[in-house]
Amino acid sequence: MIHTDLETYIASYGDHGKLHRLQFIAHRGSPRIKSEALHHLLTVAKRLDNVKMYQEAHSALKGLLDENVDPMLGSLPHMETDWVNATTRNNAQQQQVFEQDLHQAKVTQIKDSIRLALMASATFYFRRGNYEEALKHYSKSREYTVEAPNVLEMCFASIETVVMLSRYTDIISYAAKAQHTPYKTPKDNARVTAAHGLYYLKLRKYKDAAESFLGLKPNELGESFKNVLTVQDVALYGSLCALASYTRTELNEKIGEKSVFRETLDFVPIIRDLTLDFCQCHYKRCLEALYKIKPSADLDVYLSAHWTELIRNIRDKAIVQYFSPFLSVSLANLAAELNTDVEGIETEAANLIAEKKISAKIDSHKKVLLQRDTDLRRSTYKDAMRLGQEFFESTQQLLLRMNLVKYDMAVKPSRK
């Protein structure tokens, strides 16, 4: 859980993944979480020789501690001015070397030398947090990249860079190029699928996101994409997107014991349990577990913007599925099952009726949700008669056409 054990949470990510998530948490968490995130940011920034991030994190931490007199927030570390100056000089010298190497490679006009120089420069900028400059160099290397392994290297590096820049709509162009590149390993395919899943999640195409995440095998993804996603993230995002968008039949098929995703779910027991609770119609337990992880979801850089919509969709599905077998349901019983009060569930049910997600009406006096009268026998009979009439008409048309052709009465095109 992010809000209870931040150090354990970020341990599974690469340094740039840590940086991306810690920056987000430092802007959204409680003062305690912000302080912890900023302390971690200082450590990661130093490890990456990212002077700008180090200075920004130190300044933000100083402002936070000045505003909040709380010993639990810790103390302000000493600004390591000597390290800042030395690293700034060293970075400038290295940048000059990379620029000279690139210039020399362009003079030789050897494509692979130019590609290597561009990739080296891009990696230099990426490591130090200059993602815009890194992306420019990755993009320039594209025209000098021919071999499949090099194309894949460029695509995956570019995906990581646009994610760091929060330009999620740009993911698809690099993911599509990687997808159509031959000679991919299972690990490469897993990264492409994970990138598609994140892209669809950010576009709020939850069913498409679920399809991507649920198709990933944890042993194939592994740590290969840890600056962007981990297996635990796949379990969380995949299960929530599936619960919010899949039908009950689809859930049972794709999250059943023999499914690929079941192995992924085992990496996060709380997510596995709440997902199975929903599939087994234990809605109260499922929703209670979801509310427990809400504080962590609010601090997740990808999930936080979608949490409210996903939970609303999951609750709506729970109401529809709970009500579907019955002619009438007590709102009090429904409220107890969905962990809310009668007034709240009445409002939710009214919204579902207005959106035509359930065919029902509410008895506000008796506090009962009633199935609308439907004569299934009559509607089935009408459907059968309609289909029979359509079949009869189409058969008549075919017979008429056959007779016209048989007796040479069909109009033929004029010959010129």
Report pLDDT digits (tens) over 352-396.
999 988 989 998 989 999 987 655 677 788 889 999 999 999 999
Q: For residue range 73-129, what is the model confidence (pLDDT) as tens digits? A: 878 899 999 999 999 999 999 999 999 999 999 999 999 999 999 999 999 999 999
pLDDT > 90: percent of the chain: 80
pLDDT band at 324 (very low <50, low <70, confident <90, very high): confident
Q: Which amino acid is at 87?
A: T
Tokens coding 368 = 């009962």
For position 401, what pLDDT does the model report? 87
Averaged over 205-210, what is the pLDDT? 98
For position 372, what pLDDT does the model report? 78
Averaged over 213-235, what is the pLDDT? 94
For position 411, what pLDDT does the model report? 72
* Cβ within 8 Å of residue 204, ≥6 positions away: 306, 309
- Better-predicted residue by pLDDT, 3 or 401: 401
Q: Distance (Å, rounded) from C-alpha 303 to C-alpha 307? A: 6
Q: Which amino acid is at 148?
A: A
For position 408, what pLDDT does the model report? 80
322: nearest Cα among 308, 298, 339, 307: 339
For position 4, what pLDDT does the model report? 74
The distance from CA 326 to its chain's CA centroid, rounded to whole angstroms, is 35
Q: Distance (Å, rounded) from C-alpha 293 to C-alpha 269? A: 12
Query: Are 307 and 201 within 8 A, CB to CB?
Result: no
pLDDT band at 151 (very low <50, low <70, confident <90, very high): very high
197: nearest Cα among 157, 242, 143: 242
Tokens coding 314 = 């999951």
For position 376, what pLDDT does the model report? 63
58: nearest Cα among 25, 81, 32, 89: 81
Distances (CA, A) of 414 to 120, 401, 411: 71, 20, 9
Distances (CA, A) of 117 to 25, 122, 246: 35, 9, 47
Query: Are 192 and 171 within 8 A, CB to CB?
Result: no
Q: Is 184 exposed, middle or buried (0-12, 13-18, 19+ CB in 10 A)?
A: middle
* Cβ within 8 Å of residue 41, ≥6 positions away: 19, 22, 23, 26, 53, 57
Averaged over 211-223, what is the pLDDT? 93
* Domains of the chain, start order: 326-371 (1.10.10.10)
Helix (H) / strand (E) element for 330: namely strand 328-330
In the Cβ-directed half-sphere of 113, how many Cα atoms lie within 13 Å? 11
For position 377, what pLDDT does the model report? 72
The distance from CA 25 to its chain's CA centroid, rounded to whole angstroms, is 18
- At residue 62, does pLDDT exceed 70? yes
The distance from CA 153 to its chain's CA centroid, rounded to whole angstroms, is 22
For position 145, what pLDDT does the model report? 94
Handedness of CA 353, 354, 359, 362 (dihedral sign): positive
- At residue 256, does pLDDT exceed 80? no
* Cβ within 8 Å of residue 273, ≥6 positions away: 285, 289
Number of H helices, E strands in the chain: 21, 3
Q: Which residue has the tokens 């290597």?
A: 116
Query: Are 288 and 294 within 8 A, CB to CB?
Result: no
For position 413, what pLDDT does the model report? 67
Averaged over 179-195, what is the pLDDT? 96
Query: In sequence order, what DSSP letters do the residues of 21-84 get, joined into one string?
Result: HHHHHHHHS-HHHHHHHHHHHHHHHHHTT-HHHHHHHHHHHHHHHHH---GGG--PPPP-HHHH
* Beta pairing partners, 363: 368
pLDDT > 70: percent of the chain: 97
For position 71, what pLDDT does the model report? 72
- Better-predicted residue by pLDDT, 19 or 359: 19
For residue 56, the tally of other CB atoms under 10 A from its CB is: 17
